[in-house]
Amino acid sequence: MADLIDGKALAAEVTGKVSQHAADLIASGTTPGLAVVIVGEDPASQVYVASKSKRAKECGFHSVQHTLAEETSEDELVALVEALNADPAIHGILVQLPLPGHIDSGTIIQTIAPEKDVDGFHFINVGKLGTGELDTAFVPCTPAGAMLMLERVRGRDLSGLNAVVVGRSNIVGKPMANLLLAANATVTIAHSRTADLPALARTADILVAAVGRPEMIKGDWVKPGATVIDVGINRVPAPERGEGKSRLVGDVAFDEAAAIAGAITPVPGGVGPMTIAMLMANTLVSACRAAG
């Protein structure tokens, strides 16, 4: 049976360190400030955004949430982001995705000042990650958290290891592949058009699942002893728990994979909590940079 990589415990450790450093920074006159913006009423997004604002407060940050109506125009949202860019009390700006269809998310992301882009989605930060300028980049929170979990099992240097990332999103798959590469892994990005995905997955010493398909990755796709990082959070019906009930599952068929892997992240309690912890860490870093 694989070792469990406990994201809840590691996230608590990261958040504890962030709170301590924040207290020092506050004592020296700078309070880290995070602005979280949500447009519309997507229930999952509302839950995520509320946890981000709450955790920021728990870290001692100045935490602001802007909740905008579904009908908000792109111009109005651009104006809000520009006001936050100019606000010296704000060090991190996060606009929750997805945005309603009439707003172009690319336009909004590129409006965020790169030095306040704690999501790491602006071209400047994507470019810095791609060129290995990790000291001044903001790295997207979910892959950054996944890397910290991986470090606990495999260390920082992944030389000689094959990593397969299943999924090519801008939020997870692509930045994850770049981080693995920066850590010297040999990286393959797989996706829905990849030929013989199970065979490719079986070559992976490190298998990262970020596809958003419940339990797609089966036990016999896993190389014995591999480290499996499951980024998926999928809500599926659970009639066995009662009528209308649901449960969360990852992109990996957990029980099967855990019987073969060396270490694996659970869902829930794996990568999910790490995302918010890394957002707090990025906001603290931004405030430290602003304080000089």
Of 62-70, 76-84, 95-103, 252-260, the segment contacting ligand GUN by CB under 6 A is 95-103
- Which residues, 6 or more positions from 277, have their beta carbon under 8 angstroms from its beta carbon? 10, 11, 12, 14, 15, 18, 55, 145
Site string for ligand GUN, 114-153 (x = CB under 6 A): -----x---------------------xx-----------
Q: Is 230 in the site for ligand GUN (CB under 6 A)?
A: no
CA distance linking residue 220 with residue 236, whole number of Å: 22
DSSP H or E run through 19: helix 7-27
- Determine if residue 241 is labeled as part of a ligand binding site: no
CA distance linking residue 26 with residue 15, whole number of Å: 16
Using CB under 6 A, pick the residue from 39, 95, 208, 280 that binds ligand GUN.
95
Q: Is 201 in the site for ligand GUN (CB under 6 A)?
A: no
Judged by beta carbon, residue 227 or residue 282, the one nearer ligand GUN is: 282
Kindly state the tokens that stand for 263: 């270490």
- Determine if residue 55 is labeled as part of a ligand binding site: no
Q: How many Cα atoms sit within 13 Å of 3 on the Cβ side?
A: 13
**62 three-state secondary structure:** strand
DSSP 246: E
- Determine if residue 235 is labeled as part of a ligand binding site: no
Using CB under 6 A, pick the residue from 96, 111, 125, 283 that binds ligand GUN.
96
DSSP string, 124-164: HHHHHHHTT-TTTPPPPHHHHHHHHHHHHHH-S--TT-EEE
- Determine if residue 33 is labeled as part of a ligand binding site: no
Judged by beta carbon, residue 21 or residue 122, the one nearer ligand GUN is: 122
Q: Which residues participate in catalysis according to the annotation?
A: 52, 96, 119
| Binding site, annotated residues for NADP(+) | 167-169, 233
Binding residues vs ligand GUN (CB under 6 A): 94-97, 119, 141-142, 171, 275
